[in-house]
Structure 1
Amino acid sequence: MTPRTARRALPRRRRLPLRPVLAFLFLLATLAMLMLRGYVHNEILADHRVRPEAPGGHVPAKVTGGGPVIDTRGGRTDSLRVPKHRVVLTFDDGPDPTWTPQVLDALKRNHARATFFVTGTMTSRYPELVRRMVAEGHEVGLHTFNHPDLSYQSQRRVDWELSQGQLALAGAAGIRSSLFRPPYSSFASAMDDRSWPVARYVGGRGYLIVLNDRDSEDWRRPGVEEIIRRATPEKGRGAVVLMHDSGGDRSQTVQAIDTLLPRLQAEGYRFQTLTQALDAPSADTPVTGAGLWTGKAWIALVGAADGITTGLVVGLAVIGVLVFGRFGLMLLLSAAHARRTRRRDFRWGPEPVTEPATVLVPAYNEAKCIENTVRSLVGGEHPVEVIVVDDGSCDGTARIVEGLALPGVRVVRQHNAGKPAALNRGLANASHDLIVMMDGDTVFEPSTVRELVQPFADPRVGAVAGNAKVGNKDTLIGAWQHIEYVMGFNLDRRMYDVLRCMPTIPGAVGAFRRTALERVGGMSDDTLAEDTDITMALHRDGWRVVYAEKARAWTEAPESVRQLWSQRYRWSYGTMQAIWKHRRAMLERGPSGRFGRIGLPLVSLFMVLAPLLAPLIDLFLVYGLVFGPTGKTIASWFAVLAVQAVCAAYAFALDRERLAPLISLPLQQLLYRQLMYVVLLQSWITALTGGRLRWQKLRRKGGVSAPVPAEGALR
């Protein structure tokens, strides 16, 4: 055995397909950014309960009877007070993009310093404000990361709140703080058996606990004078004053600062940071090395999450406009189409079309389906010539057709060259000027060909789209595709018919004027969506393309997720190829340019952009369920679902379909749409990376047949 033969004999290692992995990683990264943004903005881990007071018998008297600063570092228990005629203004819950700059401006005007107890979430979102605090000589302390009541939390959670807060400070301003104020804290005299263990534990981690002895209660917005009264120390005493620069409207706080500071400064008070007032070293120390870069990375990630989320919100607004705009157009224009085509006096021309047509059936390994397909054509109500083009089948497809020995049915064999080549081969062998094209797994109703060729009574019509229906809709995946076909495809075609810019003649059921096909060069293999490609080419050549709703064809839809993925991947990628190929239509003038001005933009929006953005509805559903407001989120999602249900029910009514399959509509919106989204995302990645996608044969079972029309069905 030669080395080359040996290499061939080795089993090939299965390679992980790159594009699905890229699509999955993109989705995962997007979800992670959204969750990070929700975590930082919505305080998912916050516990907003305020504990009831507990007995204080175990709290040292020197703490409850002492000052607002508690030092339990190194096992000590000390209580500190601010010296006389010194005031430490402290601001909680910031930084806030609206009010913190105004507070800083007021302090600057009055030549005062203050101490800001910031939360990690707000610091992560607005790091530039923390940098400004430090640059202007103010002191920064921790107020936890998510603002929970630490009396309810474990030591592990307390540690986490401290470390995450320090991480945000390091990334925002390159500092670490040794000052800490517990959320929902009050005066030292209110320390009890629940809050004291937390203070002692945090102090043991190297922090100075800072409470207050003057609470302005500015969060209540009691009025400027009342804030000033509550914040003013008594008889020259020193004080730690509690105020807020976030959490709501702080205009009264800003006004109170501008009044309080000059008044107390005139009485000899100095407004200092906490460590300045205590004549202690600064509590804010620089961070270097890995700690600094880790913090900067955190701030960068939060900024990226905010930017991405802003983009997603814009995308959600866009998809909202597109979805509701499309639904409105579909309902309005499909109703107009139904009124026009169902009038008793409606005619495509002065006389019905009775001339025979050639039906082309490209077939590749359709042994299980081809007999039903051919028999449905021979038994029709319109004279036809049937040409089955066997495209190199290896399962005896051609022999089955020849063995039927049906009149007017011919078999043309060729080496495997693809569907476009098979259709062109059939066109070259056709005897008639009206050409009907169908798939080898599709079954026509007796009236289908007759209804399909009637629009050719209008000499301006170059092609006709039929009404493709799912024949195997008894499975869940089949039912979902049935909803999609009736609502998404056929309702769309009514809309596009009225707008005179039909984008696609379905490969399962379509008819063409031979002259029109020859003028545009026949079927092209430039794209994987030859049906969309030829339709756009006909529009650009000036032909009308219309929809015949009564020309029903029953096709076998994929019955597994893998086959469905393969089919829709080809469809979506082929549609992108066709749009790109015919992009110059947008610059064309005259009647032939109508498709470029109206149709191509609509197809790009509704078939490429909207499906790509549609899962944002479900993404924000998850976001709202996790971060709130839960009630409004659920109500909004059901409102969108209700609109879709109304459109779907209307589409089913137009097609005289039973409404029972719509029971699975909510599940379709949750699961099926996400699958289609990933398929479209993979198609985008393929297009952007310049990949090539080959035709893939779907496995068929051959169980589809045309149903017997029920009484009252369309005639």
Structure 2
Amino acid sequence: MGRGEPKGHWLLLALGALALTVLLLLDGFANGAVGEAPRKEPAHPAAAPAEATSAGPVINLAGGKTQSRRMPAKTVALTFDDGPDPEWTPRILDVLRRHNAHATFFSMGAHIAQQPALTRRILREGNEIGSHTYTHIDMAASPAWRTRFELDLTQRALAGAAGVHTRLMRMPYSSRPDGLTAGEWRAARLAGADGYLTVLTDRDTEDWARPGVDRIVRDATTAGRRGEGAIVMLHDAGGDRTETVAALEQIIVRLQAQGYRFTGVAEGLGLPAATVKVGGGEQAIGTVLVAAQRTAGWLTGWFGLLFLLAGMLCAIRLGVLLVFAHVHMRAVRRPQRRRTQGEPPPLSVIVPAYNEEAGIAATVRSLLDTDYPAPFEVIVVDDGSTDRTAEIVEALALPGVRLIRKPNGGKPSALNTGAAAARTDVLVLVDGDTVFQRDTLRHLVAPLDDPRVGAVSGNTKVANRGGVLGRWQHIEYVIGFNLDRRMFDVLQCMPTIPGAIGAFRRAALLEVGGVHDDTLAEDTDLTMAICRAGWRVVYEEKALAWTEAPDSLRQLWRQRYRWCYGTMQAMWKHRRSVVERGRSGRFGRRCLTYLAVFQVVLPLFAPAVDLFALFGLAFLDPTAPLLMWAAFTAAQAAAGAYALWLDHEPVRPLWTLPLQQVVYRQLMYLVVLQSAVTAVLGARLRWQTIRRTGTFAGPGGEEARLGLGGQSVAG
């Protein structure tokens, strides 16, 4: 016996969802989409005090006193804001190295975390690095806690990327001292209290506006008195920096010819090194932040692609299903199915029943109330029921009905017992909660006129479709299951004949060894085995069977969990068909590939993709996710209308489709996730039964609505 159903996997799933949410939020925060401090620049901002506007560009506010410094003569500190950028920062570093010049890079913490190798290169080549906050916030408009948080995160990113902290800080949106506002001065004092040197500029090239190479060179080299030192502001990120790179070459060449040297800010002023080594604990924390930021960026990029890919695959699948449904309706096998050679064969209808007292009487009566012209028998196999199932069948005392009692052994055992007791070569397998129409048997058996056909799938309908949950399952049966079966019929790769309604040749059953119990989806396993044996399995849409669907989310979950896990078991059991030759190989490559993509892989990724879509709606531009969702829902509705029309059903239930996409679809995805976890852990899931409510029993019930109250004697 295998292990039981895994425990604690929901906790793992919740932790995974939480981790993914945190990573998405971290990436959104790093890119200014989550928690962004909006910049509201007043029309006439208050100026900073005179001690600030008249100070030098390097300001020390530690200890509450204002001290400032200017670069010494013939010394230029080139400074670059907003990086590091994977495209432009290396080009700038190449120019600096070529001319033996050093600079100071005021980098954003989020970019440092995304580009740790580039950060290390900046320092390795003798340059300095300073803080430009983590997300480029306007420190003048941000609360004190946010400012400290941003500066602290940047230090942690530096610790993780390069093992250092920095003493230097430049406020985003700042420029020269004479342009300081009162808000910027407050932010500078706050940073100074934490030990930062605030670095402004003497020469703001405004290269971010791309004014042209000549303008950038002129602003960097001609301002101020001849021979004085200066701090020059440039940018190595934030857009196309082609002009900056070209201007940098000219700036260095021109000023070096005049005897200028190019250093970092701290180096040029003779201050202690701009960066200091950190301890192992700080570096470990920073490493976690860097890893999380890089993972978040990677996930966001990939989930964006997955979102588009999933949308495209679903659209392609929907289009393909509709095309094959049209082909199935117009051409495939219709002439052959209408031609009947000889008399209809005698039948044995086998009904496995375990605790089916709520509906077994309606099932048996519906089987006997038929227009099938040939003799047939009904065999009810009571599989050790603990309720009154067997007593109800006996009390009916209907001619042509046999009751076989056996100890509980599972549905495959009951089916094999019924097949062994059957007297005919054509077997119809029917669930104990299913009701047939009067013409169902006749339509179901008709395709067996073709000797190549080994089994026939009928058309299962949801009977209890009164509530929203019932309507959702009705839509799923018609759009999902039956459209799929039309496609599989055309491609001759049917994976499942539903337990509710299927006809089989005894020869086909014997060839595959009967119904096996090594999967929880015995109907799927049996159908796949028959296909691999070379028999054709077809779909007969006119053979209608009404079944009772689960009427609660708990019951639905239990049923679909068993179905999904059992289907995965069957796919794994028949995996060799993918590489085999002949009909078995065609079945495997067509059917198993389709099931793997659309019933396993996509549902496994779908919750994460949906979470990314919600993230985009909340924090990014919601236009694309909304348009894609609306387009997909509209396409689903159109396909649903066509599928309902094919099944001669009204389109009224489609009003529940949008809500189904939000609620029901997520439930089905979680079923796949739980099934996958169960399979990976090697657990053996026990048989899940659902509670029957007796939809077909009693006056006014579905039995009466379908006109199934009469009795016919067969055989």
> Could you state the TM-score of these two structures normalised by the residue count of structure 1?
0.93
The alpha-carbon distance between structure 1 residues 563 and 537, as it changes in their structure 2 partners (threshold 3 A), is same
- Residue 315 of structure 1: how far off its partner (Å): 4.0
- Residue 318 of structure 1: how far off its partner (Å): 4.5
Matched residue of 1:257: which SS?
helix
Kindly indicate whether the alpha-carbon contact (under 8 Å) linking 2:362 and 2:703 is maintained by their aligned counterparts in 1.
no
1:175 aligns with 2:167: no
Kindly indicate whether the alpha-carbon contact (under 8 Å) linking 1:68 and 1:210 is maintained by their aligned counterparts in 2.
yes
- Residue 264 of structure 1: how far off its partner (Å): 0.7
1:357 aligns with 2:344: no
Question: Which of residues 398, 401, 407 is equivalent to 1:406?
Answer: 398
Deviation string 1:26-46 (CA, Å, 9 cap, x unpaired) is 333333333333333454223
Question: Which of residues 12, 17, 28 is equivalent to 1:22?
Answer: 12
Matched residue type, 2:294: G
Matched residue type, 1:509: I
Write out aligned runs for 1:183-222 (5 A). 183-222=172-211
- Residue 364 of structure 1: how far off its partner (Å): 0.4
Question: Which of residues 312, 325, 342 is equivalent to 1:334?
Answer: 325
Question: Which of residues 285, 288, 301 is equivalent to 1:297?
Answer: 288
Matched residue of 1:152: which SS?
coil
- Residue 139 of structure 1: how far off its partner (Å): 0.8
Equivalent residue number for residue 372 of structure 1: 362
- Residue 639 of structure 1: how far off its partner (Å): 2.1
Write out aligned runs for 1:144-163 (5 A). 144-163=133-152
Equivalent residue number for residue 464 of structure 1: 456
- Residue 441 of structure 1: how far off its partner (Å): 0.9
Equivalent residue number for residue 504 of structure 2: 512
Matched residue type, 2:162: A
Distance 1:91 1:558 in 2: 64
Deviation string 1:72-115 (CA, Å, 9 cap, x unpaired) is 11100123222222111111111111111111111111111111
Kindly indicate whether the alpha-carbon contact (under 8 Å) linking 1:214 and 1:239 is maintained by their aligned counterparts in 2.
yes
Matched residue type, 1:460: R
Question: Which of residues 409, 415, 418 is equivalent to 1:417?
Answer: 409
Deviation string 1:479-522 (CA, Å, 9 cap, x unpaired) is 22111111110000001100010110011111111111111111
1:36 aligns with 2:48: no
The alpha-carbon distance between structure 1 residues 39 and 357, as it changes in their structure 2 partners (threshold 3 A), is farther
Write out aligned runs for 1:194-593 (5 A). 194-232=183-221, 233-234=223-224, 235-313=226-304, 315-340=306-331, 345=335, 347-351=337-341, 354-382=344-372, 383=374, 384-593=376-585
The alpha-carbon distance between structure 1 residues 637 and 620, as it changes in their structure 2 partners (threshold 3 A), is farther
Distance 1:647 1:457 in 2: 32
1:122 aligns with 2:114: no
Once structures 1 and 2 are overlaid, which stretch shifts more, 77-86 or 118-127? 77-86
Distance 1:578 1:216 in 2: 68
RMSD (CA atoms):
2.1
Question: Which of residues 670, 674, 678 is equivalent to 2:670?
Answer: 678
Distance 1:131 1:162 in 2: 19
Kindly indicate whether the alpha-carbon contact (under 8 Å) linking 2:102 and 2:127 is maintained by their aligned counterparts in 1.
yes
Matched residue type, 2:124: A
Deviation string 1:510-535 (CA, Å, 9 cap, x unpaired) is 11111111111111101111001010
Give structure 2 stretches of 5+ with no counterpart.
697-701, 708-715
Kindly indicate whether the alpha-carbon contact (under 8 Å) linking 2:5 and 2:686 is maintained by their aligned counterparts in 1.
no
The alpha-carbon distance between structure 1 residues 16 and 687, as it changes in their structure 2 partners (threshold 3 A), is closer
Once structures 1 and 2 are overlaid, which stretch shifts more, 158-167 or 652-661? 652-661
Distance 2:409 2:563 in 1: 19
Q: Percent identity?
A: 51
- Residue 546 of structure 1: how far off its partner (Å): 0.5
Distance 2:404 2:339 in 1: 34
Kindly indicate whether the alpha-carbon contact (under 8 Å) linking 1:322 and 1:610 is maintained by their aligned counterparts in 2.
no
User: Number of paired residues?
Assistant: 695
Matched residue of 2:55: which SS?
coil
Give structure 1 stretches of 5+ with no counterpart.
1-13, 711-715
Distance 1:373 1:709 in 2: 12
Kindly indicate whether the alpha-carbon contact (under 8 Å) linking 1:553 and 1:706 is maintained by their aligned counterparts in 2.
no
Equivalent residue number for residue 79 of structure 1: 68
Matched residue of 1:194: which SS?
helix
Equivalent residue number for residue 613 of structure 1: 605
Matched residue of 2:691: which SS?
coil
Question: Which of residues 41, 55, 80 is equivalent to 1:51?
Answer: 41
Deviation string 1:205-244 (CA, Å, 9 cap, x unpaired) is 2111111121111111121111111111432222211111
Distance 2:349 2:521 in 1: 20
Distance 1:513 1:19 in 2: 42
Question: Which of residues 124, 128, 139 is equivalent to 1:135?
Answer: 124
- Residue 55 of structure 1: how far off its partner (Å): 4.8
The alpha-carbon distance between structure 1 residues 441 and 352, as it changes in their structure 2 partners (threshold 3 A), is farther
